[in-house]
Amino acid sequence: MKIAALSFQYPTGILANIGDWIQTLAVEQHLPRVDFYLDRDSLNTYQGDECLLVMNGWFSHRPEAWPPSDRIVPIFHGFHITPGAVEHYRRHIDYFKKHAPIGCRDQSTLDIVKSWGVEAYLSYCTTLTFPTRTKAPEEELVFLVDAPKLAHRIKRWKEKLSVQHEVAPVSSAVQREFAKDLLAMYRDKASLVVTSRIHAAMPCMAMGIPTLYMPKNPDGRTNIINEFGDPSSEVIENGLRELLGIRRKRIFIKNKINESLKTQISKKLRSRVEETLS
């Protein structure tokens, strides 16, 4: 059986979200290979060879295009349903039952799927499985990821770099390479990441990078971090106390994911892939 991974083509006027590609890169770690990519928002149009596809991430800009083609054998792991699309997906309960169990990335999605009488489990997000970096950077460089207004508040560090996860909708290949380079830059150079992006926060946590996560609109999708987020005294003592009082509704998270959790997520996904391919 061929193996596909998700790619992303965005509607006119919508910037590309590199966080989507970070999720695909996270899944690729656990696949024996990737034969080709399929656009997340047009899976219903695929008519090629039968293929395995991990349904990981946010669904979607085009919920009306659900369900996917019957040429796709889905593995639901890290699946999130955006609240505005729930009614669209509810119409296809039989599809979810056929391809259960549904691995849900957050409790809100799990509650929705279980309320339909569909077998499901909490899989968390595959971006939590990126390898822990082997050494800390030599210099103190703070990455402000979609958090430009905080630049003047961080006084202890002179070296700050602002990064955006929304970019011009260039080709999928360019987006993927940019996502790879961005993850490598966080891993090799970040002494601290301050971000409003959940798919900057979670991979950085997984890599062992001290991370301050401040969601713009906390909801069921972002509350996943409550499962393993708590203050890291090491980071607090390094001059960030003032940041904790800037606004409410922020989460200050520790700088490393429990390795047993990473192993649990990885083993479950790999076992499902192997079972489907056998």
* 110's tokens: 């799990």
Residuewise pLDDT in 10s, the chain (278 residues): 999 999 998 877 788 899 999 999 999 999 999 999 999 999 999 999 999 999 999 998 889 999 999 999 999 999 999 888 999 999 999 999 999 999 999 999 999 999 999 999 999 999 999 999 999 898 878 898 987 666 666 655 557 788 888 888 788 899 999 999 999 999 999 988 888 888 999 999 899 888 888 776 656 566 666 665 554 444 444 445 455 444 434 445 555 677 888 999 999 999 999 999 99
pLDDT at 263: 94
Q: Which distant-in-sequence residues (6+ apart) come within 8 Å of 29 by Cβ?
A: 126, 129, 130, 266
- CA distance linking residue 31 with residue 122, whole number of Å: 20
End-to-end CA distance of the chain: 9
- CA distance linking residue 276 with residue 68, whole number of Å: 17
pLDDT at 238: 44
What pTM did the predictor assign? 0.88
Which three-class secondary structure state does DSSP give residue 51? strand
- CA distance linking residue 258 with residue 208, whole number of Å: 10
